[in-house]
Amino acid sequence: MNTKGINYTQHFISLAPTELDNIINSRGQDVIFYEHPTNGDEDTIYCMIDHVLANTEFFDLEDMIAGSDYEPILQDGQIYCNFELGQE
């Protein structure tokens, strides 16, 4: 996943992106999934955990459901896929 900086995050949110879904991941973190605010479904899905935004690099949510290898996890200010952290 590609974690974004604070300026990009503020701009992204100011464009009022469509919320697609939200989950509680295996670490108890609230993950909110967004469609890109200007490119819509022609772009990848973004996610936010505790005000940290990342481009998931996925085009659908199925791969990121809680408990999967691709579930978004916030650690040390960056968002990773579950498998990148060696989680089960």
- Name the residue with tokens 């990342």: 54
**Rounded to an integer, what distance in angstroms lies between the CA atom of residue 86 and that of residue 77?**
17
**Rounded to an integer, what distance in angstroms lies between the CA atom of residue 53 and that of residue 12?**
9
Global pTM value: 0.92
Burial of 38 (0-12, 13-18, 19+ CB in 10 A): exposed
Write out pLDDT tens, residues 5-63.
Answer: 999 999 999 999 999 999 999 899 999 999 999 999 899 999 999 999 999 999 999 88
78-81 and 19-24 beta bridge pairing: unpaired
